Amino acid sequence: MGLLDGQRAVVTGGASGIGRGACRRMSAEGARVAVFDLDGDAAAAVAEEVGGFSFGVDVRDADAVRAAVDEAAGQLGGLDAIFNNAGTGSMARLHEYEPEEFRRVVDVNLHGVWHGIRAAVPHMLAGGGGSIVNTASISGIRPSPGEGPYSAAKAAIVALTQSAALEYGGRGIRVNAVAPGAIRSAMTTPLLGLGDWEQTWTERTPLGRVGDPEDIADVVVFLCSDLARYVTGQVLVVDGGMILHGAGIDGVLDYVMQMLEGPAGGPPPA
């Protein structure tokens, strides 16, 4: 018997990293999964692996998300869970962000989560309940320099999660968030390859290692399962204890800027 036997689920950003890990773990626990991602081919590969469906969809597009969730719920015969996980990062000083890039980061991370909630709730209400899990970040709880729009969007996801928990708790829908720390994925591969940042992150983590997508996916399974039946409106930090020391991204902006500009803002050393 699996923890999610019979559940019908949507995972956004399901083609890679934490989302792909969640598709695998949720399906291993008995859920049927619809994999949503901007990268439709990669989503299809994950769907084939887990025996689910895939949709190439941009979470910034509210109507496209709604249409895809409607279609997924039709194919699955209902909807019990959605993991609103698609996200993207960016790094610059606040006064140097182009407005378009700032909006893009907020759009994907924050509006993308709301679009998932907006699309999923009618199906869950019709089915008598469900579980929504959103991906926040320790960056939304303890921001680092250089992550302005990302941190702001992730902090807003916490508030949105709490609002949704209040609005739908009485209708059988639980709404929670996971706040990952430093997790090995396509998003963090470039950072882990910078100088000795992998070692730095490892040393900043009390549990002594960089996390894997499955470390988050297992918590998502828990939150979607009946084991979490009395848990709603919560943000579960899953970071190996990193936030007790600060955050992994601390210092990355200065490091990158020094590589690009040199220590005094001049050209990099020869």
Ligand X SMILES: NC(=O)c1ccc[n+]([C@@H]2O[C@H](COP(=O)([O-])OP(=O)(O)OC[C@H]3O[C@@H](n4cnc5c(N)ncnc54)[C@H](O)[C@@H]3O)[C@@H](O)[C@H]2O)c1
- Smallest distance, Å, CB 247 to ligand X? 10
By CB under 6 A, name the one of 9, 38, 158, 247 that touches ligand X: 38
Binder among 62, 88, 162, 214 for ligand X (CB under 6 A)? 88
Residue 150 is among the residues annotated as catalytic for this protein = yes
Shorter beta-carbon distance to ligand X: residue 127 or 198? 198
Interface with ligand X, residue 235, by CB under 6 A: no
DSSP 65-80: HHHHHHHHHHHHTS--
Exposure string over 136-146, b if 16+ CB within 10 A, otherwise e: bbbbbbbbbbb
Q: Of the ranges 57-65, 70-78, 158-166, 256-264, which one interacts with ligand X (CB under 6 A)?
A: 57-65
Q: Which two tokens stand for residue 157?
A: 């996801």
Write down the least CB distance from residue 37 to ligand X, Å. Answer: 5
- The three-point CA angle 218-231-109 to 5° equals 65
Report the sign of the C-alpha dihedral through residues 49, 31, 81, 73, in that order. Answer: positive
Task: Write the CB contacts of 166 (distance below 8 Å, at least 6 apart in sequence).
Answer: 233
Question: Do 142 and 167 form a contact (C-beta atoms < 8 A)?
Answer: no
Binding mask 184-223 for ligand X (x = CB under 6 A): -xxxx-----------------------------------
Shortest Å distance, C-beta 270 to ligand X: 34
Question: Contact region for ligand X (CB under 6 A) — 54-62, 141-149, 192-200, 259-267?
Answer: 54-62
Phi, psi angles (nearest 5°) of residue 263: -60, -35
Residue with tokens 């600060």: 246
> Taking a C-beta distance cutoff of 8 angstroms, is the pair 208, 181 a contact?
no
60 makes contact with ligand X (CB under 6 A): yes
Extract the runs of DSSP E, i.e. beta strands, from 172-261. 173-180, 235-238
Among 3, 4, 11, 13, binds ligand X (CB under 6 A): 13
Enumerate residues 99-128 that contact ligand X by CB under 6 A: 108, 112
Total residues contacting ligand X (rule CB under 6 A)? 28
The reply on whether position 59 binds ligand X by CB under 6 A is yes
Q: Does 130 bind ligand X (CB under 6 A)?
A: no
Would you state the structure tokens that stand for residue 26, as one six-digit string?
């949720």
Q: Provide the terminal-to-terminal Cα distance of the chain, rounded to the nearest Å.
A: 62
Catalytic residues: 150
Q: Which residues bind ligand X (CB under 6 A)?
A: 12-13, 15-19, 37-39, 58-60, 85-88, 108, 112, 135, 137, 180, 182-183, 185-188
